[in-house]
């Protein structure tokens, strides 16, 4: 069909079905976050083996957990604004190659200080990757299915994290804890080469940057092979490039309170998520369950998160998204409390940890998707990066608090009772957002 001069790229995508090419882009971003999830969670799964190999107290790993998360925080805070200036694609690929190399080097660590330094550097690369994978998926998806697309893509993270547990159980037994980081390093390096050939840049970003009509046309023809265009066609965005430091724009145009509440949601949600991810294997193991079984049971956190993500995507597209998010976090609090009350009953641990994953991981991925819908293109990666970066502060505190509670010899019930508090706060913040803002009013 013939199209008029000055084609709005956002309308072009919104008016078409979610086609094969968008599915391919989403799959490539899912591969990126799959590898991100595998590497991010690897340290938690191998922690019991490292404690034995290095002959250290379990609390000695708290700084290592936190160092990785500091790197994730810094990478997200820096990577978002950089990609809003230079593009999603180059920052994503650079970050993935960097964390792959650092993961490989982690396999050769011989002390806690070395492990700490390498996990900090690995986190820098991981932090740059995440906001750009979300932004790319969001900007290639029609509005009516955007939350679903982002959340389905993000299942890659949960599957990668869950596979980390399954792989760790086998790899550690046969090849030692180092093998987990070898696998987690080789795969991103190989994937970077493949994605360099096939992963496109966001057409919405290209339209904002100007003078990129040839690249935009090539991509739009892949989205819609039936697209017939005029020789002099130009592509435009119904938004404006950021004229100032992009972080400042997160507080402009009545976005300040929304941004602060969103940061609170991310802070509390990621605080709980990383508390659970890092300490569940050790807490369960200390309760009398074998290390291999503890790793497998903990993997239910991410499996539950994957199921929750698939279910919740359509919910956020069809109903009041932040109100739904608030309800999910309330359920999360109930499941976290349940984890601490079931003792060493493996069936009940599986059920309660699955439920906690469904709500905590599913809720966090939902928050990622809603953030991608809530900011304009010019500051989308910055909005995502800074929400994730602020959230990483919570994720740094979560493992530290867990270590403190264990050092006080608190029992499982008390530990997980405290663990329910952050998601309750996240539920309140999401509810306040639902009463005053929607994801559509912010763009």
169 vs 147 pLDDT, higher one: 147
| pLDDT surpasses 70 at 231 | no
Rounded distance, CA 116 to CA 107, Å? Answer: 12
Supply the angle between the helices 321-339 and 412-419 in degrees, to the nearest 10.
170
Q: Which of 77-81, 321-325, 409-413 has the lowest mean pLDDT?
A: 409-413
How far are the Cα atoms of 168, 272, 325 from residue 181, in angstroms, in the given order? 10, 24, 34
Rounded distance, CA 273 to CA 263, Å? Answer: 15
Number of H helices, E strands in the chain: 17, 2
Name the pLDDT band for 246 (thresholds 50, 70, 90): confident
Q: What is the pLDDT of residue 238?
A: 66
Kindly state the tokens that stand for 346: 């493996």
pTM of the full structure: 0.81
Supply the angle between the helices 256-286 and 321-339 in degrees, to the nearest 10.
20
Q: What is the pLDDT of residue 438?
A: 54
Identity of the highest mean pLDDT range in 65-74, 89-98, 201-210, 309-318: 89-98
| pLDDT surpasses 90 at 305 | no
Q: How many CB atoms lie within 10 A of CB 340?
A: 20
| pLDDT surpasses 90 at 98 | yes
Q: What is the CATH number of domain 7-436?
A: 1.20.1250.20
Q: Where are the domains of the chain?
A: 7-436
Q: What is the pLDDT of residue 61?
A: 78
Tens of pLDDT, residue by residue over 252-268, are: 878 899 999 999 999 99
Tens of pLDDT, residue by residue over 325-374, are: 999 999 999 999 998 888 777 788 889 999 999 999 899 989 988 998 88
24 vs 84 pLDDT, higher one: 24
Tens of pLDDT, residue by residue over 371-411, are: 988 888 888 889 999 999 999 888 778 877 887 887 777 77
| pLDDT surpasses 80 at 168 | no
| pLDDT surpasses 80 at 198 | yes
Q: What is the pLDDT of residue 21?
A: 92
DSSP state of 2: B
Place of tokens 């993935």: 96
Q: What is the pLDDT of residue 320?
A: 82
């Amino acid at each position: 069909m013939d199209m008029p001069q000055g084609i709005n790229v956002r309308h072009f995508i919104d008016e078409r079905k979610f086609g094969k090419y968008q599915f391919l882009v989403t799959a490539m971003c899912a591969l990126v976050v799959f590898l991100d999830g595998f590497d991010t969670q690897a340290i938690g799964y191998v922690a019991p083996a490292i404690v034995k190999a290095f002959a250290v107290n379990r609390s000695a790993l708290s700084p290592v957990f936190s160092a990785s998360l500091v790197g994730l925080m810094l990478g997200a805070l820096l990577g978002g604004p950089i990609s809003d200036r230079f593009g999603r694609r180059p920052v994503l690929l650079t970050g993935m190659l960097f964390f792959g190399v650092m993961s490989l080097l982690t396999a050769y660590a011989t002390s806690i200080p070395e492990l700490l330094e390498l996990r900090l550097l690995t986190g820098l690369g991981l932090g740059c990757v995440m906001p750009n994978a979300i932004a790319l998926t969001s900007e290639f998806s029609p509005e009516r299915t955007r939350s679903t697309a982002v959340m389905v893509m993000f299942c890659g993270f949960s599957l990668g994290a869950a596979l980390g547990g399954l792989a760790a159980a086998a790899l550690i037994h046969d090849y030692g804890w180092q093998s987990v980081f070898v696998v987690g390093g080789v795969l991103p390096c190989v994937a970077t080469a493949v994605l360099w050939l096939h992963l496109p840049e966001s057409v919405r970003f290209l339209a904002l940057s100007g003078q990129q009509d040839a690249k935009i046309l090539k991509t739009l023809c892949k989205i819609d092979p039936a697209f017939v265009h005029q020789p002099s066609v130009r592509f435009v965005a119904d938004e404006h490039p950021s004229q100032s430091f992009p972080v400042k724009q997160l507080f402009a145009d009545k976005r300040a309170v929304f941004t602060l509440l969103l940061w609170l949601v991310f802070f509390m949600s990621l605080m709980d998520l990383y508390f659970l991810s890092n300490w569940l294997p050790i807490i369960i193991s200390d309760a009398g369950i074998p290390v291999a079984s503890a790793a497998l049971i903990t993997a239910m956190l991410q499996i539950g998160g994957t199921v929750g993500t698939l279910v919740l995507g359509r919910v956020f597209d069809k109903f009041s998204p932040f109100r739904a998010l608030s309800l999910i976090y309330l359920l999360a609090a109930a499941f976290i409390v349940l984890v601490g009350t079931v003792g060493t009953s493996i069936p009940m641990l599986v059920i309660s940890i699955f439920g906690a994953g469904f709500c905590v991981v599913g809720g966090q991925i939902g928050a990622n998707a809603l953030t991608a819908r809530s900011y304009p293109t010019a500051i989308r990666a910055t909005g995502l990066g800074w929400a994730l970066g602020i959230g990483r502060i919570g994720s740094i505190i979560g493992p530290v608090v867990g270590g403190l509670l264990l050092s006080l010899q608190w029992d499982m019930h008390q530990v997980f009772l405290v663990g329910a508090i952050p998601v309750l706060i996240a539920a309140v913040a999401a509810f306040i957002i639902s009463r005053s803002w929607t994801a559509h009013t912010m763009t």
